[in-house]
A and B are shown apart, each in its own frame.
Chain A
Amino acid sequence: MGLTLVYGVLGVGDFAHGDKMGWGMFLAFFVVSSEGANLGFAGGQFGSLSFGWGLVVGILVAMLGVAALSLVLERLVFRRLRAAGGTFFVFAIASLGISIGLRAIIQLIWGPSNFRYTPGIHPATEILGGIKVKPDQFFIVGVTILAAVLLYWLLYRTRFGKAMRATADNPGLAEASGIDTGRIRYGTWIVGGMLAALAGVMLGLQAEVRFDAGFRLLLPLFAAVILGGIGNPWGALFGGLLVGIAQEVSTQWINTGLKPGIPFVIVIVVLLLRPRGLFGQAR
């Protein structure tokens, strides 16, 4: 269940990019989630949680690293493409190339094997009605809620957030009103990269650290984003929950191997019935 909230945060990562979603970014956080594992010096454990200070440092490093990576990619690739007048097509293909490259780099450095932040089995404790929850999962849910609140504050309570939303709505108009859209873009990449990194670490904590884990999440993520309406962070959070629950519950009736297909079915159904998503505004 913790995983479902992670989807939400990840999905939020692309809210300001709208159409030109950073595919490469989704893989970028992944780089850092394994980096966090390597940097996570043994720092004891917090109570019954499976990790200590090492992971906290790892999260910070991951967030900074992916934010920096996103900035570099923006400068090296996306800004040039934008200057040349690129559209969604060009960005999509370029980010595809970046995603392939980033995944290859992960494999080059850490190899194709799986890792865990802390080896060993972490028992789950029983709470109400026989539902078992690991302490880590409380942590994940807590971090997700915290991230959502912070994002809300950033978007709706600061000048920067206001400028960001204005840029997302209409870049031309925002620029005409004296907003430095270039800076806003950088800021958006930073926020997106940080959220992505955070979600990557949470995913690594909940499941395992794998070189293609980020890539495998791509479809559920898009499902969540489309379900919530593109560009709507709250919709994405809710969409992420819904997709995650649907995936888990579906195993009651269908073959577990088919689980990855659930988000796809959701995408198609949503596109057929309500293309702008559950909470999307008419375009």
Chain B
Amino acid sequence: MEQLIVTLVTFDGAVNWTVGFLTTVAIFAILALALNVQWSVGILNFGVAAFFMVGAYVSAVLTLPPPEGLEAYVAGWGLPIPVGWMFAAIAGAVLALLLGIPTLRLRDDFLAIATIGVAAILRSIANSVEGLVNRSRGLNGIDGLLQDEVSGGGYRWVELAIALAVLIVVYWLVSRATASPWGRALRAIRDNEDTARASGKNTVRFRMVAFVLGAMLMGLGGAIYAHRSGTISPLTFSDLLGTFFVWTMLIVGGSGNHRGVVLGALVVGFFWFGTPLIQESLPDWLGSRVFQVRQLLIGVLIVVFLLWRPQGLLAERNRVSRFVSEGPDNQGDERATILQRARRAMSR
């Protein structure tokens, strides 16, 4: 971190930091968009870290060369990186199916508990089963896409381009999905499941599809993260960074609004990754505790936003389709918030 501050003083350093920062934010924005898809149907996924981790590990072991020496992991087939990405997405989807089958038709809170649990168990498996993924040593030397073709310092621009390209594709995908009739059905289910069911929608199936779609994107995000950072270990996928951090982006940015979520990723990301930059200039008593303070502030941020700006920085748009005009009804309901939605759900 000290090195980081030194490098920031120069112009090149500042540029390099910004490029790296934006790459990280783009990856987290992918996760947050994926979470937004699940949340848009009222799924409470508290185990983002699990899907993130599965994607990262699957892609890593498939693309790494066979293990040597002290290394001990499965696969190691040296497959091309895009294939790793694909299987990362598939792995996320499979995990979501396995989790969703027993829990999605039950009470909302069960899925939340199950997902937070699966994140914990996956970390403990990765940590303790010998010969699976190198245990706590983690996987190292994961190649980045096009790393061999682009040499030296220019590669960070390639990383940024990759992350942004994937983000744009994901953004386009989720925007299309949620603006489609399918997306409207999701909102209907979240806002009032009984009415949706009465209108002939198979709500469990809709929720399952949204859960799996979100999990696929999270797996993909994990794969991109793994190839970008080059090294992953069970510690990387903590509940704090892997799950709650992403939730903060969603709440701050504006749940239900994709543009808001990306903005939230940028704001919360800057807040989180920017803190080390000012560490040096803080008084000692604060500087040495800056990591705990920012963790505290993340918690405070969630609560403050829920209390005073539950719709986030950018509110969810009420206009459900471009074929429907924003009638007087909709305008009055401009500040559609989680709370209002919740109130509607309460009156079931």
| Interface residue? A178 (CB, 8 A) | no
Among A85, A255, A258, find the residue whose CB has the most chain B CB atoms closer than 10 A. Answer: A85
A101 touches B (CB below 8 Å): yes
Which residues of chain B are within 8 angstroms of A257 by Cβ–Cβ distance?
124, 127-129
Measured in the bound complex, the distance between the Cα atoms of B281 and A76 in whole Å is: 33
A256-283 to B contact mask, C-beta < 8 Å, 1/0: 1111110110011001100100000000
Q: Report the Cα distance A272→B102, complex, angstroms.
A: 5
Question: Could you tell me the dominant secondary structure of chain A's interface residues?
Answer: helix
Q: Return chain A residues, CB-CB under 8 Å to B244.
A: 96-97, 100
Interface size on B, residues (CB 8 A): 49
Residue B146, interface by CB 8 Å: no
* Cβ B128 vs Cβ A93 within 8 A: no
- Chain A, Cβ-Cβ closest to B123: A260
Q: A107 — nearest CB in chain B belongs to which residue? A: B292
In the complex, A223 Cα to B114 Cα: how many Å?
10
Please report the C-alpha to C-alpha distance between residue A88 and residue B339 in the assembled complex, in whole angstroms.
Answer: 11
Q: Would A19 and B107 be within 8 Å (CB), given that A80-B307, A260-B124, A272-B102 are in contact?
A: yes
Are A97 and B306 interface neighbours, CB within 8 A? yes
Given contacts A87-B342, A92-B109, contact A101 B299 (CB under 8 A): yes
Residues of A within 8 A of B107 (CB): 19, 275
Most buried by A among B110, B117, B120, B310: B117
Q: With an 8 A cutoff between CB atoms, is A154 at the interface?
A: no
Known contacts A77-B303, A97-B303: does B113 contact A226 (CB below 8 Å)?
Answer: yes
- Find out whether the CB atom of A258 lies under 8 angstroms from the CB atom of B310: no
C-alpha gap A86/B339 in the complex (Å): 5
B339 contacts A264, C-beta separation under 8 Å: no
Residue of A nearest to B344 (CB): A85
Q: How far is the CA of A218 from the CA of B298 in the complex (A)?
A: 20
B343 touches A271 (CB 8 A): no
Question: Given the complex of chains A and B, what is the CA–CA distance between A98 and B109 in angstroms?
Answer: 18
Residues from chain A with a CB closer than 8 A to the CB of B117 are 219, 222-223, 263-264, 267
Interface membership of A105, Cβ < 8 A = yes
A271–B102 alpha-carbon span in the complex (Å): 6
B192 interfacial contact with A, CB 8 Å: no
A81 at the interface (CB under 8 A from B): yes
Given the complex, which residues of A lie within 8 Å of B114, measured CB to CB? 264, 267-268, 271
- With beta carbons under 8 angstroms apart, the residue of B118, B292, B306 that contacts A264 is B118
B91-114 to A contact mask, C-beta < 8 Å, 1/0: 000000000001100111110111
A222 proximity list for chain B (CB < 8 A): 113, 117
Asked if A219 meets B116 with Cβ closer than 8 Å, knowing A85-B339, A268-B102, the reply is yes
Interface residues of A in 214-229 (CB under 8 A from B): 218-219, 222-223, 226
What's the minimum C-beta distance from A263 to chain B, rounded to whole angstroms? 7
Residue contact A98 to B303, C-beta cutoff 8 Å: yes
B299 touches A258 (CB 8 A): no
Q: Is the CB of B310 within 8 A of A84?
A: yes
Give the contacting residue for B295; candidates A107, A218, A256, A271; CB below 8 A: A107
Contact A89 B42 (CB under 8 A): yes
A85, B113: Cβ atoms closer than 8 Å = no
For residue B223, which residues in chain A have a CB less than 8 angstroms away from its CB? none
CA distance A88 to B190 in the complex (A): 13
Evaluate contact between B44 and A92: CB separation under 8 angstroms: yes
Contact partner, A255, options B44, B109, B129, B248, Cβ 8 Å: B129
Q: Is A102 an interface residue (CB 8 A)?
A: yes
Q: Mark A94-136, 1 if CB is under 8 A from B, else 0.
A: 1011111111110110000000000000000000000000000
6 A–B contacts from the bound complex (CB under 8 Å): A81-B307, A84-B310, A85-B343, A219-B117, A222-B117, A259-B124
Extra contacts besides A89-B108, A104-B292, A108-B289 (5): CB < 8 Å: A19-B107, A97-B303, A258-B124, A258-B128, A271-B114
